[in-house]
Amino acid sequence: MSEQQTPAWRRLMPFIKLALTVGLFVVLFEQGRLDLSALTVLYDSPGTILAVLLFSLISYSAVGVRWVILLHSQKIPLSYAWGHRVNYLGIFCNLVLPGGNMAGDAVRLAHALRAAPCHRLEAFLSLFVDRLIGLYAMLFIALLAIIVHPELAMGSAPLRIMATGVVLIVIGAPVVAVLFYHLVGRLSGQPWFGRLLQWGGVGRLLTRLIDIARLYRHALPQLMLALTISVVTQMLLLWGVVLIAMALAVGSLTPLEYAFATPWAWMANFLPLTPGGIGVGEAAFDQLCRWIESAPSGAAYGTILLVYRILTMLATLPGLVLFLFDRKGVQDAMRSAP
């Protein structure tokens, strides 16, 4: 679609999101949910800064390894070095290109299609499965926090609802996946089921889920390895959040309580309301921490996630270097695989 054909609201969307980001930060400051004066404490905690940067770099590298494992399960023989490079490039593009996290995935997909043009569906679904595994790992960590500290689910009605959702999804998702796979095999010959697969967005979603079941039914070892990598990396990042909270001395929550709140804030970042979820994640994290508190403290919990976001953005600098040296390659890949 050319620029002349692009609807006006879509051309204005980046500016609307930017205005919403600014508005969110203003509200968070006015409500005492962000406190920039706490940032000065970090000057006395260089070890915390270095640890969070190191954890972020390890996590980004591990995500690249996870993606290549999924590609290898689909007979796409790309190297781990290639996966690292493209993953760092995609992470940086999440920050500089319109579309937030989807922009980075588009860059990763474009490079995968250029490297393996005969595996279009497999390359696309590898990113879809990669996202699902990352989301499942977040919820799995939240479930572990509930198991170790069940009082987390007793604080308020929203927490009880969220805890119930975590238990149902983490335990129920594998069961539903197995049932779905066997059910599709029984229904594939039914005329009404074929018509359902052609029914708009529902049909497209079902078709993609069927493609995943078909392509990954013999890739259970690779899926389990990818999930293990995700859980380990999420725990590293979570420990980074805890270190920041301890350095800033914001609030009085325990590491287990942060382990329950942080995954939900990370998921809020995926809401396409602001670029990269900036402001949205901080607001969600602050509200969750306030719900978890045994007694209201008025602590600016949003500051913790803001500092975490700044440090993880610094960890994307390898992607900036790659982008500067391979900007034409990014443009060529995006043009060749729109």
**Pick the residue with more confidence: 188 or 258?**
258
Q: What are phi and psi of 254, to 5 degrees?
A: -90, 165
Give the pLDDT score at 3: 46
**pLDDT (tens digit per residue) in 29-54:** 888 888 877 777 777 788 899 999 99
Return the domain boundaries, the chain.
37-172+220-336
**pLDDT (tens digit per residue) in 42-89:** 777 888 999 999 999 999 999 999 999 999 999 888 899 988 888 888
Q: Are 88 and 263 in contact (CB under 8 A)?
A: no
- Strand locations in 202-310 (E): none
Measured distance between the N- and C-terminal CA atoms of the chain, rounded to whole angstroms: 11
pLDDT over threshold 80, residue 330: no
Q: Which two tokens stand for residue 114?
A: 């250029």
Mean pLDDT of 184-197: 75
Give the pLDDT score at 226: 95
Q: Are 114 and 333 in contact (CB under 8 A)?
A: yes
Q: Which two tokens stand for residue 215?
A: 């392509």
Q: What are phi and psi of 164, to 5 degrees?
A: -65, -40
Give the residue carrying structure tokens 């942080």.
262
Give the pLDDT score at 73: 93
Give the pLDDT score at 97: 61
Q: Are 57 and 41 in contact (CB under 8 A)?
A: no
Tell me which of 99-103, 181-185, 249-253, 295-299 is least confident: 99-103
**pLDDT (tens digit per residue) in 100-139:** 567 778 888 888 888 888 888 898 899 989 999 999 999 9
Give the pLDDT score at 242: 92
Q: Are 251 and 45 in contact (CB under 8 A)?
A: no
Mean pLDDT of 158-176: 89
Using CA atoms of 76, 208, 61, 139 in order, give the dihedral in degrees to the nearest 10.
-150
Q: Are 31 and 286 in contact (CB under 8 A)?
A: no
Mean pLDDT of 153-161: 79
Calculate the average pLDDT of the chain.
Answer: 83
Give the pLDDT score at 235: 92
pLDDT over threshold 60, residue 4: no
Per-residue pLDDT band at 206 (split at 50, 70, 90): confident
Q: Are 127 and 208 in contact (CB under 8 A)?
A: no
Give the pLDDT score at 25: 85
Distance from C-alpha of 162 to C-alpha of 63, rounded to nearest angstrom? 26
Mean pLDDT of 238-255: 89
Q: Are 320 and 61 in contact (CB under 8 A)?
A: no
Give the residue carrying structure tokens 């770099």.
57
Share of the chain above pLDDT 70, in %: 89
Give the pLDDT score at 98: 56
Residues 6+ apart with CB under 8 A from 192: none
Mean pLDDT of 280-292: 89
